[in-house]
Amino acid sequence: MECGACGGTVEMLAGQVGYCVDCSGINGTCYRGEASRWVRLTHTSVEAPLEDWQYFDLVLLGNGAGSGDRHHADAQRVHGWMNRRSRQVLQWG
Given a cut of 70, whether residue 48 has pLDDT beyond it is yes
Given a cut of 60, whether residue 80 has pLDDT beyond it is yes
pTM score over 0.95: no
Average of per-residue pLDDT across 12-26: 93
- 5 pLDDT tier (thresholds 50, 70, 90): confident
DSSP codes of every residue in the chain: -B-TTT--BEEEEETEEEEETTT--EEEEEEGGGGGGT-EEEE------GGGEEEEEEEEE-S-TTTT----TT-EEEEEEEETTT-EEEEE-
- 73 pLDDT tier (thresholds 50, 70, 90): low
Average of per-residue pLDDT across 5-32: 92
Given a cut of 80, whether residue 27 has pLDDT beyond it is yes
Q: Where are the domains of the chain?
A: 26-92
**Percentage of the chain modeled with pLDDT above 70:** 88
